[in-house]
Amino acid sequence: MKVEFLGGVRTVTGSATLLEKDSIKWLVDCGMFQGGKEIEKKNDDTGSYRPRELSFILLTHAHIDHSGLIPKLVREGFRGKVVCTKATLDLCEVMLRDSGHIQEMEAEWQNRKNRRAGGKRAGPLYTVKDAEKSLKCFLTVNYNEIVSLADGLKVRFQDAGHILGSAIIELWVEEGGEGKKLVFSGDLGNSGQPIVRDPSWIREADLLWLESTYGNRLHKSREETTQELLKIVQGAIGHQAKVIIPAFAVERTQDIIYTLGQLMREGLIPSIPVYIDSPLAISATEIFKKNSDYFDRETKEILSRGGSPLDLPEMIYTRTTEESKAINEDEGPGIIISASGMCDSGRIKHHLKHHLWQEKSHIVFIGYQGEGTIGRRIVDGAESVRLFGEVVAIKAHIHTLGGFSAHADQTGLLEWLSHFENPQLEVFVNHGEEKVSMELSRLILERFHLKVSIPQWREKRILFAPEERPISEEAGEEAVAPEETFHLLLRHLDRNYKRLRKKLKRWRGMGEETQDPHRLRQLEEVNRRIEELESEL
């Protein structure tokens, strides 16, 4: 059983792990690298496998840093299944299309630049069409259901409480008579987060992949954070000002809508216009409403009382660019929720240009700000930032509200880890900036005395191997009884035959049997030898 760490190691984006047992190869997550040219080069280099060799991709959740390269793999020949929950598929439908659109736009922009410089044409990583085609490969499973993927390979998805449909993946793998249980935490949610349930506890595992996004930080409590937001909104209303909230379209936006709704239901703030200024966030909110069976108990209770936890009295969806621009002509207080969450792209940049220099405006950060992003610079206290080629001074009130995070903090991660019962558990810390993963690893070692490491990008390891038997030495020959040798050979033959059948079936499924006379000849040869042996016996 082998592993190759392909992404989301010593960084937060590009989550992907390649696993291999017998002749089966598969991925857990297939994320896109984001955060600048250097790291994004890795999107062109998917590692030491060919997409068509993969039997399936197990997908923890819909965020692009976990799902974003699926259309690229399908474009390059992947014909297996993408296994995930139904809510993840629904969200991927809008997110992968949107990502395809962004790829097309970026390629067009790059080409215009290249043409001016006399350079070559570059194609997009993938297109909207590729994204649509990839959606046909999806296969949905329910939480808590054990599904057999292949001989000696079973999977179960458990609620990770991070975004709607997000999962912790448990894998039972058998190879050569050895069996191990692998667990992938995916992104772990923040306990007490609205709408989604709290992360499920897992007790058993031999090998664990543990995320570490906030492995070095403690979030403020939910109540404290809600109070902070309340004060900011009250202050803005008092000054007839706007509150700008850069938010990821999925989960953060719905979380804020829910919380504002709660404050309004309790009469703590009056109804004011709340603009949802991101087509993706609008679609995602609609998907949330359709998947209420994934909600936590509190949110279901609001529904059962006839309430609508994802609606506000003056919620304004702005789908078109014109509608978006018109927001800033509206006088008076209001809240603008827009994407992207890290301010690197999208409509939020226009709102920042309009509001950052105004002393009365409030900018409220509620999500993770990656290294090198505009959001990170603002949060870190820059005096100005460049937006659309223009220097914009930062005079507005800047707030960071950690309690709205969709990720467990250091305490949350360690608490979740404490439920594992195996003292031999081996932990791979991933999905975190290097120094953060290191800090969490140190704590895991100190507190739980577990074997822990932080893999390198493209590092390969053997996770476990069937026990080796001596074969060529004399002593070895003596040790293995003849009947056992025969028995072993028969077992090998059975296994090889099954694997070959499976590969051939897959190969035929691709409609390639007529295109490759070489393969057909090889097959004839195998048949001939079997017949020869049979007649000899």
Given the rule CB under 5 A, which residues bind Zn ion?
Answer: 63, 65, 187
The SS3 assignment for 454 reads: coil
CB atoms within 10 A of CB 523: 13
429, 453 in Cβ contact below 8 A? yes
Task: Report d(CA 12, CA 39) in Å as an integer.
Answer: 11
Nearer to Zn ion, 152 or 165 (CB): 165
Q: How far is the CB of 360 from Zn ion (least distance, A)?
A: 34
Q: How far is the CB of 477 from Zn ion (least distance, A)?
A: 52
Nearer to Zn ion, 65 or 170 (CB): 65
Nearer to Zn ion, 152 or 367 (CB): 367
- Angle subtended at Cα 287 by Cα 99 and Cα 362, rounded to the nearest 5 degrees: 75
Nearer to Zn ion, 196 or 356 (CB): 196
Nearer to Zn ion, 184 or 275 (CB): 184
Q: How far is the CB of 250 from Zn ion (least distance, A)?
A: 9
- 52 is written with which tokens? 């068509």
Q: How far is the CB of 98 from Zn ion (least distance, A)?
A: 16
Burial of 473 (0-12, 13-18, 19+ CB in 10 A): exposed
Task: Report d(CA 392, CA 394) in Å as an integer.
Answer: 7
Q: Which of 512, 183, 255 is nearest to 406 (CA)?
A: 255
Q: How far is the CB of 62 from Zn ion (least distance, A)?
A: 8
Nearer to Zn ion, 22 or 409 (CB): 409
12, 432 in Cβ contact below 8 A? yes
- 524 is written with which tokens? 């004839």
Task: Report d(CA 102, CA 107) in Å as an integer.
Answer: 9
Q: How far is the CB of 15 from Zn ion (least distance, A)?
A: 6
The SS3 assignment for 258 reads: helix
Strands (DSSP E) contained in 86-163 are: 138-140, 146-150, 153-159
Nearer to Zn ion, 166 or 441 (CB): 166
Q: How far is the CB of 389 from Zn ion (least distance, A)?
A: 31
**Alpha helices (runs of H) in 61-216, residue ranges in sequence order:** 64-67, 70-75, 86-116, 128-135
**Identity of the amino acid at 453:** S
Nearer to Zn ion, 11 or 55 (CB): 11
Nearer to Zn ion, 61 or 354 (CB): 61
233, 295 in Cβ contact below 8 A? no
Q: How far is the CB of 530 from Zn ion (least distance, A)?
A: 49
Q: Which helix (H) or strand (E) holds 105?
A: helix 86-116
- For CA atoms 279, 284, 287, 288, the dihedral sign is negative
Q: 321 phi and psi, to 5 degrees?
A: -65, -35
CB atoms within 10 A of CB 307: 13
Q: How far is the CB of 333 from Zn ion (least distance, A)?
A: 32
Q: How far is the CB of 187 from Zn ion (least distance, A)?
A: 4
Q: Rounded to 5, what percent of the chain is helix, strand, coil?
A: 40, 20, 40
Nearer to Zn ion, 161 or 279 (CB): 161
